[in-house]
Amino acid sequence: MPSPRRTIEGRPLGSSGGSSVPGSPAHGASGGRFEFQSLLSCRPGTDSACARLRASDSPVHRRGSFPLASAGPAQAAPTLPPEEDRMNLNPSFLGIALRSLLAIDLWLSKKLGVCAGESSAWGSVRPLMKLLEISGHGIPWLLGTLYCMLRSDSWAGREVLMNLLFALLLDLLLVAVIKGLVRRRRPAHNQMDMFFTVSVDKYSFPSGHATRAALVSRFILKHLVLAIPLRVLVVLWAFVLGLSRVMLGRHNVTDVAFGFFLGYMLYSIVDYCWLSPHNVPVLFVLWNHQ
């Protein structure tokens, strides 16, 4: 009588009949022969071992034997973001350049802030720098211009002083608007002990002192006849005033640089809109009746 281990349903294990036997090469499932032979190799007395072997070789417990149709959303391939979103993840050259410029600006401003406090490297010069700060403040310039305009007896002097007052008011308005829009905080090492500040003065871009220094110095050099030493002194005052803003820790370097540029261009606007008896006669008529 043939052994059960050698035949299955009257056919040898190695025979290739018309119908393929599960586990044979003709069945098409890789590794099926070894699974089937391992199941046949169970002898009486090893029922528990055979049961564990059948359970472990079952398609249900075999890794990767689940049908593709049963794959849930968790097994789905991750979807890539759209191409335009992937392109935005790469930093642009302009963004890198701006970040580098900002880092250099902050580093240089901190290095030049030698008068930011009494314990700084040049802390003993701080009172002198604060006095220079008052010389470029808007209130002394407004009050001084208004006083000189009221005391002037010549029409030419009144015209120049009236345009200087107009330039100072325009400077205050423009700087306040830009500070409110940009909202750049003052340097961290700054001490808020400035003379007569308003709410918008907690922002640093641009420097109002630098803007006013460039505007007033260009105005004076254009409309006042001064000797060469005095003209050099006016330019030096504007430059030192802007430098003192960084040394006191009030502003960054870019705040002062943009302030100089804005003040220089602001005078061009004032010169283009020059107030005179020809284009604004009402002001001078009212002034004459006072």
Would you tell me how many other CB atoms lie within 10 Å of the CB of residue 288? Answer: 10
d(CA 244, CA 56): 82
Would you tell me how many other CB atoms lie within 10 Å of the CB of residue 78? Answer: 4
- Residue 289 designated active-site: no
- Residue 209 designated active-site: yes
Radius of gyration of the chain (CA): 44
DSSP E strand stretches across the chain? 7-8, 11-12
The Cα diameter of the chain in Å comes to: 142
- Counting every residue, how long is the chain? 290
Q: Which of 27, 251, 278, 289 is catalytic?
A: 251
Q: What is the DSSP string of 197-227?
A: --GGGGB-SS-HHHHHHHHHHHHHHHHS---
- Token pair, residue 254, equals 């870019």
Under a CB-based contact definition with an 8 Å cutoff, are residues 241 and 136 in contact?
yes
Q: Coil, strand, or helix at residue 28?
A: coil
d(CA 262, CA 213): 10
Kindly list the distances between the CA atom of residue 245 and the CA atoms of 137, 175, 209, 257, 258, in Å, as whole numbers in the listed order: 12, 16, 8, 11, 13
Which residues on adjacent β-strands are paired with residue 166?
Answer: none
Q: Which of 137, 189, 209, 278 is catalytic?
A: 209
Catalytic residues: 209, 251
